[in-house]
Chain A
Amino acid sequence: RKEVEQDPGPFNVPEGATVAFNCTYSNSASQSFFWYRQDCRKEPKLLMSVYSSGNEDGRFTAQLNRASQYISLLIRDSKLSDSATYLCVVYILTGGGNKLTFGTGTQLKVEL
Chain B
Amino acid sequence: DTAVSQTPKYLVTQMGNDKSIKCEQNLGHDTMYWYKQDSKKFLKIMFSYNNKELIINETVPNRFSPKSPDKAHLNLHINSLELGDSAVYFCASSYRGGSYGYTFGSGTRLTVV
The interface residues of chain A lying within 8 Å CB-to-CB of B97 are 93, 98
A46 contacts B45, C-beta separation under 8 Å? no
A34 contacts B101, C-beta separation under 8 Å? yes
Choose among A32, A44, A45 the residue that contacts B43 (Cβ–Cβ < 8 A). A44
| Cβ distance A106 to chain B, nearest Cβ, rounded Å | 11
Choose among A43, A85, A91 the residue that contacts B99 (Cβ–Cβ < 8 A). A91
Tell me what chain A mostly uses at the interface: helix, strand, loop, or mixed: strand
Size class of the B contact interface (CB-based, 8 Å): 20 to 34
* Binary CB contact string for chain B from 25 to 63 against chain A (1 if under 8 A, 0 otherwise): 000000101000000111111001010000110000000
A49 proximal to B (CB < 8 A):
yes
Chain A: how many interface residues by the 8 Å CB criterion?
25
The interface residues of chain A lying within 8 Å CB-to-CB of B13 are none
Q: Closest 7 A-B residue pairs measured CB to CB?
A: A97-B55, A43-B104, A102-B43, A97-B56, A46-B101, A98-B98, A32-B99
